[in-house]
Chain A
Amino acid sequence: MPPLAIRAYTATSALGRGLQAHADALAASRGGLAPNDFSFAPLACWIGRVAGVEDAPLPPELTEWDCRNNRLAWMALQQDGFADAVRATRERYGAHRVAVLLGTSTASIGATEEGYRRLDNGNMPADLHRPVLHTPHSLAGFVAAAFELEGPCLTVATACSSSAKVFANAERMIRLGLIDAAVVGGTDTLCDSVLFGFNSLELVSPEPCRPFDARRNGISIGEAAGFAIVERIAGVADAPLLIGYGEASDAHHMSTPHPEGLGAELALRDALERAGIEPADVDYINLHGTASQKNDEVEAALVARTFPASTRASSTKGFTGHTLGAAGILEAAITLLAMRDGRVPANLGATQPDPLCGPQMAWHEESKPIRIALSNSFGFGGNNACLAFAHAEHAA
C-alpha cells in the first residue's frame, strides 16, 4: 500500500502527559503503575492512572461533553501542539475532508455508572441528563464537535484492538479519496465496568503486571489517550510513516486467544504483505503482552517462530498497564518514540522469563536504530490488529 505520513502524534497515560514524559519514563525504565485507589470500593490490584483528570474540567463551551473519558481525551489533545495541528489540518483541507476515527472499549460509560449510583427517582440525575455521554460514540462525537470537523466520524469498539484498527479505517478512506486526512487514536478511562468486569473473569493481577514472566498472573488495567494525524506523504516532510496494517479474527473464543495464535499470525502476515516487508526487516515489535497467561503464551510462540534474533520485542504494559481500547494508539505512539529515539523499551516487570520466549525479547532497555517497527493489538472476541511503521526515508 502507499505509505501514509503521521504528521503529528501524542499520548497521555500513567507515564505522564505528552511524548516527552513517555520518552523520559521509557529511557529510565520507570513505570507508572500504582496501588488501586479508583472507585468507591477499590479492588486490591494495581492500576495505571493518569494524574489530575479529576481536576481538569472541559472548557465552558464543551461542558455538555464533560466526563472522565472526554477530559482525558482533551488533556491529551493539548499536548505536543496536537490541537493546533488538528486546526491546521482543518484549515488545509476543509472540515469535511478530515475524518475523526477513534477507538475505545467503554467510551464514557463511567458517566453512565455514576448516574446509576445516584439515580433521582429511578432516573438519570439532571446533571447527567446528557444523551451524548451515554453512548459508545461519545468520544468521537466529542472530538469532532470540539474541532468542528465534518468528515466521516466513526467509533471502532473492538475492545483492545480498537485504536489500532482506526489506522486501517483511515488508510482505506484516504486511498479511496473520500478524505484527505484523519484524526485517529482513542481514549479509555478507568471505570467500574472494566475493573470489576475483568476481576469477575479472574484476569486481574493483585500485583503490578509482569508480561512474559513465567509467574505472570494477570493484567493491570490502565487508562490512556492518544491521537495521530495521518495523511498522504506528499507535502509532509520527515514524518514517520504508516506502511502497513493487518486485521484478522481468531474465530475461537470470546475471551481466550486461539491456542496457536492463528488470528494473530494472520494479522501479522497481512501487515507484512501490505508493507512489502519480511520478518527480517523488522527492527522492533511492541507486543500486545498483557501479562495474562494465554495471551502471552500465544504471542511469545508467534514471535519466537517468526522473527530472527535481531528483531527486538517487548511489551510496555508493565509501564502503563493495559489501557484496553486505548492500548493500540498508546503503543503506536511508544513505537514511534522508540523509532525516533533509537531505544528499545524494556519489558518492564518480568524478572523470570517464560521459557517460551525467544531471543527476540528485550528484557532491558537497549539502544538500537529502529527503521521498521510493528505494534500488535489483540482484543476480546479474537479481534487482532498489527500496525507497521517506518522512518521517513523508507518512502524514498
Chain B
Amino acid sequence: MSAALSVWVSGIGLWAPGASTWDAFRDVVSGGAPSGASERPVADVLPPNERRRAPESVLLAAAAAGQAVRMSGRDAATLPCVFASAHGDQVITDYMCQTLATAPLELSPTKFHNSVHNAPAGYWTIATHCHASSSAVSGGEQAFGAGLLEAASLAVADDRDVLLASYDIAGSGPLGAMTSTTGPFAVAMVLSPRAGGAATRLDITPERGNVGAEPIGDPWLDGLVASNPAAHSVPLMHALALMRPTALRVPAARGLDLHIDIGVAA
C-alpha cells in the first residue's frame, strides 16, 4: 500500500535542554557526546530588538525554525509555515489569569498581544517578510503529530515546501499543574514534496488507534519525551539523527497515529 503522504526532509532544527541545536542533538544521539548545559535559544532570525523583548515561546519556535530553514537553503519569505503547540505561551497565560483575577484593568497590552497562540507565527512572518500562508495549531498532547499531518498535507496538496515548527514551554503557576509540561522543547522541519537533494523521506500514513510510545532506552531522550508535548517528536528525531531506514508511529489525535516509514537515500 502506498503512503498517504510522502515528503522529504530538507531541513531540521531543534532546541532541547542540553542540546540547543539539531547538530548538538545529533552528536549526542549518534556520536555519543554528552548532553550539555541548557543554553538560551538563539533566535537570530528575529531583529535584535524583537529578540530582547520576545517571550520564551517565540524565541524557542524561531530558534528551531531558523535552523531548519538555514539547513534547507530555502528562502523563509516564500515558505508557508505551520506553528504547532499544545499550550502556547503558558507563562503569559499564567500572568494573564493572575492579573485578570486581581487587577484586570492593569493587564499589559504587550502581554496580551503576545498571548495569542499565533504570536510565534506572527513574529516569524514579520521577521522573514513571509507573505505565504501561516498557521498556528494545537492538537493537545498530540500537537506535534497533528501539526506534522497538517504541514505534510499542505506541502503535498499545494506542491510546495512548508516549514513546520512545534514547540512548548514549561508550565508555571496553577496552569502548569494542569498541563504537566515540565521543560521547554522545540523542533522544526522544512518538508518538501520532492527530493531536491534531501537525503530523508517520510512516508506518512494515518492509522487508527494510539499504540503509545516505546521507550527509546536512553534516560535523557525518554526524559525529554515525558517533559513536553513537542518532544513527542523525539523518537522521530532520534531515527533521523541515526540516518537509518526505520518505521515508527507518532500520535496525531486521540485514536489516531501517523505511521511513518523513514527512507534514507543510499
Contacts and interface: CB of A to CB of B under 8 A. Distances in A.
A158 to B, nearest CB: 5
B93 interface: yes
Interface stretch (B34-42, B67-75, B238-246, B250-258): B250-258
Contacts of A198: 112
A154 B128 CA distance: 26
Q: On chain A, which size bracket covers the interface?
A: 35 or more
B208 to A, nearest CB: 5
Interface size range of chain B in the complex: 35 or more
A251 interface: yes
B105 interface: yes
Given A150-B208, A193-B100, A383-B121, A249 B130 contact: yes
B145 to A, nearest CB: 9
B119 A254 contact: yes
B135 A165 contact: yes
B178 A124 contact: yes
Given A144-B254, A145-B254, A109 B108 contact: no
Interface string A153-174: 1111111000001001101110
- The 9 closest A-B CB pairs, nearest first, are A381-B122, A247-B133, A157-B117, A150-B255, A137-B140, A197-B112, A153-B253, A116-B97, A172-B157
Nearest to B85: A136
Interface string A270-304: 00000000000000000000000000000000000
B131 A155 contact: no
Given A248-B131, A254-B113, 15 more contacts: A112-B178, A113-B100, A135-B138, A135-B140, A135-B179, A136-B88, A136-B117, A165-B135, A169-B150, A176-B153, A176-B156, A193-B112, A201-B112, A251-B77, A381-B134
Contact of A193 (B115, B179, B253, B256): B115
Given A131-B178, A151-B253, A380 B122 contact: yes
A178 interface: yes
A251 B153 contact: no
Contact of B136 (A157, A201, A253): A157
Contacts, number: 224
Interface string A118-138: 010011100001011011110
A23 to B, nearest CB: 32
Nearest to A267: B133
Nearest to B100: A192
Interface in B80-99: 80, 86-88, 93, 96-98
Contact of B174 (A115, A168, A201): A115
A249 B125 contact: yes
A70 interface: no
Interface of A: 39, 41, 95-96, 105, 109, 112-113, 115-117, 119, 122-124, 129, 131-132, 134-137, 140-141, 144-145, 150-159, 165, 168-169, 171-173, 175-178, 192-193, 196-202, 247-255, 262-263, 266, 379-383
B132 interface: yes
Contacts of A251: 77, 125-126, 128-131
A123 B175 contact: no
Contact of B153 (A150, A178, A253): A178
A176 B157 contact: yes
Contact of A196 (B93, B105, B116, B146): B105
8 contacts: A112-B93, A131-B179, A131-B180, A178-B149, A249-B133, A381-B119, A381-B122, A382-B122
